[in-house]
């Protein structure tokens, strides 16, 4: 009998979603599963549910019903095929053009919507916040304003992940993704229930960022951002202690 499985990768903007996503897609395809990604309809529904307020005159109940219908349909496709079907959602915080941190995706309600239809696998993607800021320094009117927003986003993500049993969550540090792929392959494979060799093959799709803030950012800007992202924010993100660390 086919199964529907759902991966949600949580993390702030610029933390490396576009690097991890193709690795996951290739790894799951290598495992013999069907993979659904780049789901514009689902992303639009979730944006409507949490970031908009009554879009196009639709009520929250109608939008939620449409999202639940999406997952019922995907589960029916999995059962019909007799194969494992994975849905990968790689949304970042803040959610695209929706910069108000009081209107962002809600992990608890997401699990309520998805849970009856699919097994849920949660990943928290973490990258040094200065590196995340340097990924899009022009956003939000400039680097400093962007850094302040990402700091609020980090706190938001932390609050969301505090609702999750640490045993159901794997923290993936972007630095591990780039520098320790073999060790990360084993952790990812265990978390997702697939073979490490499939994840190792997936790493062939990895295209690491060429930006290096320590090398390319002026020292004065580095100092300013280090003050915004103090030591606790930069290296002591509390959720890191709740999941195995590959960097230790």
- Between CA 82 and CA 186 the distance in angstroms is 27
DSSP code, position 12: B
Quick check: is 247 in a domain?
no
Predicted local distance difference test score (pLDDT) of residue 40: 87
Quick check: is 106 in a domain?
yes
Does an H or E element contain 7, and which?
strand 3-10
Which of 124, 239, 128, 233 lies closest to 179, judged by CA? 128
Quick check: is 109 in a domain?
yes
| CATH for 181 | 3.40.50.300
DSSP H helices in 93-166? 107-114, 129-135, 143-161
Quick check: is 10 in a domain?
yes
- Between CA 98 and CA 72 the distance in angstroms is 27
Predicted local distance difference test score (pLDDT) of residue 246: 44
182, 200 contact by CB (below 8 A):
yes
Domain enclosing residue 28, as ranges: 3-242
Predicted local distance difference test score (pLDDT) of residue 56: 66
Predicted local distance difference test score (pLDDT) of residue 166: 80
Quick check: is 229 in a domain?
yes
DSSP code, position 140: G
Quick check: is 52 in a domain?
yes
Predicted local distance difference test score (pLDDT) of residue 101: 95
Quick check: is 248 in a domain?
no
Predicted local distance difference test score (pLDDT) of residue 238: 59
Residues of the chain whose pLDDT is less than 50? 242-248
Predicted local distance difference test score (pLDDT) of residue 167: 80
Instruction: Give the tens place of pLDDT for each residue, 204-214.
Output: 999 888 889 99
Structure tokens at 166: 């640490």
Quick check: is 199 in a domain?
yes
- Between CA 71 and CA 67 the distance in angstroms is 7
Tell me the pTM.
0.91
- Between CA 47 and CA 51 the distance in angstroms is 5
HEC secondary structure over 15-40: CCHHHHHHHHHHHHHHCCCEEECCCH
17, 92 contact by CB (below 8 A):
yes
112, 68 contact by CB (below 8 A):
no
Number of domains in the chain: 1
Structure tokens at 125: 């993607």
State whether residue 218 is helix, strand or coil.
coil
- Between CA 201 and CA 197 the distance in angstroms is 6
């Amino acid at each position: 009998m086919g199964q529907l499985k759902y991966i949600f990768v949580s993390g702030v903007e610029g933390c490396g979603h576009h690097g991890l996503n193709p690795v996951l897609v290739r790894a799951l395809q290598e495992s013999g599963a069907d993979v659904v990604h780049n789901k514009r309809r689902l992303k639009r529904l979730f944006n409507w549910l949490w970031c908009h307020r009554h879009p196009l005159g639709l009520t929250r109940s109608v939008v939620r019903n449409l999202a639940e219908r999406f997952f019922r349909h995907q589960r029916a496709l999995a059962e019909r095929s007799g194969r494992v079907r994975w849905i990968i959602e790689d949304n970042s915080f803040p959610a695209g053009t929706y910069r108000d941190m009081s209107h962002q995706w809600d992990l608890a309600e997401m699990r309520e919507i998805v849970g009856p239809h699919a097994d849920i696998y949660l990943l928290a993607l973490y990258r040094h916040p200065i590196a995340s800021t340097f990924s899009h320094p022009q956003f939000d009117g400039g680097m400093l304003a962007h850094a302040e927003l990402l700091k609020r986003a980090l706190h938001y993500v932390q609050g969301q992940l505090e609702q999750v049993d640490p045993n159901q969550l794997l923290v993936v540090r972007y630095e591990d993704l780039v520098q320790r792929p073999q060790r990360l392959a084993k952790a990812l494979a265990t978390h997702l229930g697939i073979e490490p060799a499939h994840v190792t093959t997936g790493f062939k799709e990895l295209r690491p960022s060429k930006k290096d803030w320590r090398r390319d950012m002026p020292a004065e800007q580095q100092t300013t951002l280090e003050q915004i992202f103090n030591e606790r924010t930069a290296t002591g993100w509390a959720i890191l202690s709740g999941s195995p660390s590959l960097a230790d």
